[in-house]
Amino acid sequence: MSAKVRFAPSPTGKLHVGNIRTALTNFLYAKGQGGQFVLRIDDTDLERSTKAFEDGIKADLEWLGLNWDETFRQSERFERYDAVADDLRQRGLLYPCYETGDELDRKRKLQRAQGKPPVYDRAALTLTDAQKAAYEAEGRKPHWRFKLSGKTVTWTDLVRGDTPIDTASLSDPILIREDGSYLYTLPSVIDDIDTGITAIIRGEDHVTNSGAQIEIFEAIAGKAPDMGHHPLLVGPDGEKLSKRLGTLSISGLAEEGIEAMTILSLLAKIGTSDPVEPRLSIEALAADFDLSKFSRAPARFDPEELTRLNARLLHETPLESVRSRLSAMGVDVTPEFWEAARPNLDRLEDAVTLRNLIEGPVTPVVADEDRDFIATAAEALPAGTLDAGSWSAWTSELKAQTGRKGRGLFMPLRLALTGESHGPEMDKLLVLIGRERALSRLNG
């Protein structure tokens, strides 16, 4: 059976780098095996889920190039969840509990005070029909827990290797709230079964949950998919990144001018044995993707590294990959312009600044002590159409005439021609500026 995996965001907010690392890991795992990538919209929280967030999720994934093979919403499948829940009730695997949140909290505090783990004591299993009726008469509605076996569940994790979870150390998970709404677990398991998911790959904060979910899979379908749990992202200082994820939304990074492949290149490689290098296509990332390369240590995500990598990627990007985007920015795109521009770009939008540098208007900067030198430079500017050798010939002539060299030779020319103290290599820039504009700026 070919690989089939899923990414299951909730449409209650924007996608951030943590979400996308999981989505990308699943996508590359599937595509590397010729498999399928499913987008499941986990919108069972009807109050917080919105169509706007769902549309934003899809737009972000499409912008990144993480295109899905099929998609569906959980909110369209409540009848299916209800049918499975009824079956689990009839088999005694889903049982009603009447404790309030405060009562459960008091139990946990008492257990901790006694040095015991705060595991649900299954008191609800001893309730008589009369006691249940009395709770119902009080107006209490039950929440429903899945009855774990109390055995050790072991699986060969795709990232971590052999992983045992003692279900006796876990509380029976609540699958249905008092108001009848579903928590994440049961719908997720049912959907994975019905869509034929072969592997569930997610963050290592779900390892314990997986132990319980495997038993739910086995109760419903007899077998669970493969499981893989990758390390979580941390900040450059090693602290949890979760508090900062809101400022690292994919749409926000796109607005800042970070390229889609920059984001994917970084997220695919941090926390693995591979070096972080820019990749120009998802196919290139998929070609050398392997879950065995993941480290067990948390992956350090540094936004500054994202900025540096973005520049490196643009420096390697061929013109045809960005021609239409540059044209939309109003930039005349020629191979000569791109060769001069791309080594100096941090963001693609910087090309607009460089275009303005070439076409003007530019305010030349000429220090008083350089005025005679710039006048001499104007007279010595090579005649005819400027080419790749014009800068070298020009500066060599000026060096011979004035005795200037190094910074004292080159910087006054750059300032007079561009008004800036840094920028593209002058041999390439001079060709793009052209002789007429160069003379105009030199003559001030």
Helix (H) or strand (E) holding 430: helix 426-442
Cis, bond preceding 231 (omega within 30 deg of 0):
no
Amino acid 196 reads G
Examine the pLDDT at 41 and tell me if it is beyond 90: yes
Q: Which two tokens stand for residue 153?
A: 């569940």
What CATH number labels 4-78+181-232? 3.40.50.620
Q: Model confidence over 180-227: pLDDT tens digits?
A: 999 999 999 999 999 999 999 999 999 999 999 999 999 999 899 999
Q: Model confidence over 152-193: pLDDT tens digits?
A: 999 999 999 999 999 999 999 999 999 999 999 999 999 999
Q: Which two tokens stand for residue 430?
A: 């001079």
Instruction: Evaluate whether 270 touches 234 at the Cβ level (below 8 Å).
Output: no
Delimiting residues of CATH 1.10.10.350 domain(s) in the chain: 368-442
Say whether 76 sits in a helix, a strand or coil.
Answer: helix
What CATH number labels 242-316? 1.10.1160.10
Confidence band of 98 (pLDDT split at 50, 70, 90): very high
Delimiting residues of CATH 3.40.50.620 domain(s) in the chain: 4-78+181-232
Delimiting residues of CATH 1.10.1160.10 domain(s) in the chain: 242-316
Backbone angles phi, psi at 364, to 5 degrees: -60, 145
Nearest to 333 by CA among 361, 387, 324: 324
Task: Return the pLDDT at 253.
Answer: 95
Q: Which CATH class is domain 368-442?
A: mainly alpha
Task: Return the pLDDT at 1.
Answer: 65
Examine the pLDDT at 394 and tell me if it is beyond 70: yes
